[in-house]
Amino acid sequence: MRVAVLIVVLLLAVAFAVQNTAAVDVSLLLWKSQASLAIVMALCLALGFIIGLLTVAPSFLKGRRHARNLERQLASRETLDPVSPPRKSARSADHARSADIGEM
């Protein structure tokens, strides 16, 4: 399924590039250049993707670090004070026996 979606996206990208070959002027401050519209659009998309990743990466890494610290704390507490399995109370044992009798 993923391969099919990837193939469709790539075919659309190729169709876009073939249909948008017109040269456009690109200027940034004192820098000026001329390039194909498809190339300019692809570079803008890539630049936006990179800026988005750089914006999200610090909070993502902070969350992973916090989760790792919590896992370490949990592991250290389990080794210091292992949790014993819960005991069944007399009430739950009576309830279980009555349920067994009711099934007969």
pTM of the entire predicted model: 0.54
> What is the C-alpha to C-alpha distance for residues 104 and 19, in angstroms, rounded to an integer?
77
The SS3 call for residue 27 is: strand
pLDDT digits (tens, 9 = 90+) for 6-43: 899 889 888 888 888 888 888 888 888 898 888 888 88
CA end-to-end span of the chain: 51
Give the residue extent of every domain in the chain: 1-59
User: What is the pLDDT at residue 54?
Assistant: 94
